[in-house]
Structure 1
Amino acid sequence: MKADAQLEKIFEAFKQRTITRVFYVACGGSSALMYPSKYFLDRESSQITSEIFSSNEFIHRNPQSLNENSLVILCSHKGKTPETTEAAKFAKSKGALVVSLMYVEHAPLADESDFIVNYSWISAGNMEPMPEIMNYAILYKLAFGLLYVKEENKKYEKLVTSLNSLSTVFEKVMAQNEDVINAYAEQYKDEKIMYTMASGANYGMAYSFAICILMEMQWMHSHAIHAGEFFHGPFEILDKDVPFILLMGLDETRPLEERALTFLKQYGNKLVVVDAQNFDLTGIDDEVKGYLAPLVNNVVLRMFALALSKARNHPLETRRYMFKVPY
């Protein structure tokens, strides 16, 4: 597989460099992809820290810790996002090792990067499960591979084996949830607003669904709420008429999501819960289940996005401004 060959070259580069800090840099949905991998680095590494930056702010903020000991990982689906391309150029000017993900082979972002990794593009409306080559999986391989090289973290091999089992897991999850997802789409098709909530490795999925699916692709008002922040202001918006989507994972922050669930059930009424604990995860190693659960939850979100777009008669490809007017 092409991506694996590209990753092997990057792992060799890891061996030749001192890396003390990882910067994940992207915009929008590409940025949301990076939250699970950052969660892994935060949990597992004793020597390497990581941060997530929006591409343009990365340049303007100009972190003083960005230097020749930094790894900068960027993502842009077509490799044409101007802010992300400039961020790659900026990172190289600071001496950082620059790795970029995209689904095209040649793009401006590739020209400004030391290495690229290509993934297969899966649109929001495509339900064919290909987890071993999805952008999430590649980001995981980069993070797990970095710690395998630098700290002898043995979870890399368990990750690869588990990724190979995900297609079967996805197929079972899709079959299990098809009817309930279609029912949810009918129930919520006329809502004007819908909040999403999660914590830990799951948070990026909630963020992506809010800004990319509900706001961008369905023109619905939305906001992603961190489950740990819910009780520090946002819970005041809850009543029986306000719909929430709650993602529940298997990582160490699950108690935050469980606390939010208790409150949502007590004071709310319109609630969609996507809980990885309810899915058959046979084939995924126990030591990486918490890290990979967001990918499984995301399959259900993709199903919901497609069903909602059909129920609302609002195709996911419809745009008002994006790619249509100067911005």
Structure 2
Amino acid sequence: MKQVHVEQIQKVIEAVKGKDIENIFFVACGGSMAALSFGDYFVTKDTDMPSFVYTSNEFIHRAPKALGEKSLVILKSHTGTTPETVGAATYARSKSALTVAISMDVESPLCQEAEFTVHYNYKDGSDAIDCEIGIYYTLLFKLLNLITGEEKYLRGVDQLSKLGELIERNQAKHKDVADAFGKKNKREKIIYTMASGAYIHHAYSFTSCLLMEMLWVNSNAIHSGEYFHGPFEITDYDVPFLMVVGEGPSTPLDQRALDFVTKYSENVEVVNVKEFDYTGVDEDLKEYFGPALAGPVLRLYADGLAEHTGHPLSVRRYMWKMEY
């Protein structure tokens, strides 16, 4: 990891040590919110620290009473220009919270507004450890170590050096099946996604940011644990599902949903995180690395749809084209 990133993350850790933090807020929009949500998942799973996820504008308007000088607010925007997230940083600072911006642009409005910045490199040939996933996971592992004192998170930081290689291996493993998924589903008007645990955030991001935003395919992210409480009634032989079977305590929820959906639908695509290549990752860290690998793998399925529909992922109807 580049020294500048090491120093940025260490400044955040030292600030947290000096603030007697009592709760954490993860605040962003869209795919950035989904990415931050992995932090909330592991903080609430592994610690007794209260943690919350907010979409930026609701964070401002709901004005949570728990927000104050003993709060850590982590905000993320890829470009650092998302107005709602910049506004959320302003609001958090007005409540004396410790604010940390995660972005690719240190000169962006968000990074200028937040007290601390954790910058990541983007499309500059950097190793994965210096890019979005590696930077965020390094910060997350160090925060978890600070809160719990458990050494496994420091092993996690060390093993992030293997992240780039693991992403490449797992993408290579799924490239052909993702392309076949795109070819098979190129004329589908609706594709449901399903997951649970940490991976429900991937289902949300794939649904909202890739299928709906980028590909204009109708979709809904279904939590595996909620599938039997309404959504399973839409299941039929020709209804397409993309299902993530996760690595972690929620796997039984996924398996139960998978057993049913494959019985009644003939178009179920499964991404089984347990079958990922985890070479060099300790057994007790696989559930943390699974979400870091699932995002790049799932992106291939969107690429497959884009290739076979002739609809580039860069095309937008409204976003960035008009006032909204």
TM-score interval, normalised by the smaller of the two chains: over 0.9
**Greater mean deviation of Cα atoms: 282-291 or 134-143:** 134-143
Contact 2:142 2:154 in 1 (8 A): no
Give yes or no for the alignment of 1:269 onto 2:270: no
* Separation (CA, whole Å) in 2 of partners of 1:177 and 1:67: 45
Q: Summarize the Cα distance change of 1:303–1:129 in structure 2 as closer, same or farther, 3 Å threshold.
A: farther
* Separation (CA, whole Å) in 2 of partners of 1:290 and 1:137: 15
Give the structure 1 partner of residue 168 of structure 2.
171
Contact 2:179 2:303 in 1 (8 A): no
* Selected match of 2:323 from 297, 317, 326: 326
Give yes or no for the alignment of 1:12 onto 2:11: no
Q: Summarize the Cα distance change of 1:25–1:105 in structure 2 as closer, same or farther, 3 Å threshold.
A: same
* Separation (CA, whole Å) in 2 of partners of 1:283 and 1:159: 11
* Runs of 4+ displaced beyond 2 Å: 128-131, 133-144
Give the structure 1 partner of residue 224 of structure 2.
227
- DSSP-derived class of the 1:222 partner: coil
Contact 2:243 2:271 in 1 (8 A): yes
For residues 290-301 of structure 1, what are the structure 2 equivalents within 5 Å? 290-301=287-298
Contact 2:240 2:268 in 1 (8 A): yes
What is the one-letter code of the residue matched to 2:36? Answer: M
What is the one-letter code of the residue matched to 1:70? Answer: S
- DSSP-derived class of the 1:162 partner: helix
- DSSP-derived class of the 2:297 partner: helix
What is the one-letter code of the residue matched to 1:132? Answer: I
Give yes or no for the alignment of 1:154 onto 2:151: yes
* Separation (CA, whole Å) in 2 of partners of 1:110 and 1:171: 30
Contact 1:34 1:136 in 2 (8 A): no
How far apart are 1:219 and its partner, in Å? Answer: 0.4
Contact 1:33 1:135 in 2 (8 A): no
Give the structure 2 partner of residue 133 of structure 1.
130
Give the structure 2 partner of residue 114 of structure 1.
115
Instruction: List per-residue Cα deviations over 1:1-38 (Å, max 9, x = no partner).
Output: 12222101111111111111100000111101012211
* Separation (CA, whole Å) in 2 of partners of 1:80 and 1:200: 30
Structure 2 gap ranges (5+): none
* Separation (CA, whole Å) in 1 of partners of 2:223 and 2:274: 19
* Separation (CA, whole Å) in 1 of partners of 2:261 and 2:232: 9
How far apart are 1:143 and its partner, in Å? Answer: 2.7
* Separation (CA, whole Å) in 2 of partners of 1:282 and 1:198: 24
What is the one-letter code of the residue matched to 1:303? Answer: L
Structure 1 gap ranges (5+): none
**Greater mean deviation of Cα atoms: 159-168 or 71-80:** 159-168
Give the structure 2 partner of residue 62 of structure 1.
63
Instruction: List per-residue Cα deviations over 1:265-305 (Å, max 9, x = no partner).
Output: 11111111001112221111211211211222222211111
Contact 1:201 1:291 in 2 (8 A): no
Instruction: List per-residue Cα deviations over 1:181-235 (Å, max 9, x = no partner).
Output: 2111110111000011111111111110000000000000011111111111111
How far apart are 1:140 and its partner, in Å? Answer: 2.6
What is the one-letter code of the residue matched to 1:88? Answer: A
Contact 2:69 2:96 in 1 (8 A): yes
* Separation (CA, whole Å) in 1 of partners of 2:306 and 2:178: 12
Contact 1:174 1:299 in 2 (8 A): yes
Contact 2:92 2:99 in 1 (8 A): yes
* Separation (CA, whole Å) in 2 of partners of 1:280 and 1:87: 38
**Greater mean deviation of Cα atoms: 190-199 or 289-298:** 289-298
**Percent identity for Structure 1 against Structure 2:** 43
- DSSP-derived class of the 1:316 partner: coil
- Tell which has more relative contact order, 1 or 2 (C-alpha 8 A, sep 6+): 1
TM-score by length of 1: 0.95
How far apart are 1:130 and its partner, in Å? Answer: 4.5
Contact 1:132 1:164 in 2 (8 A): yes
Contact 2:24 2:71 in 1 (8 A): yes
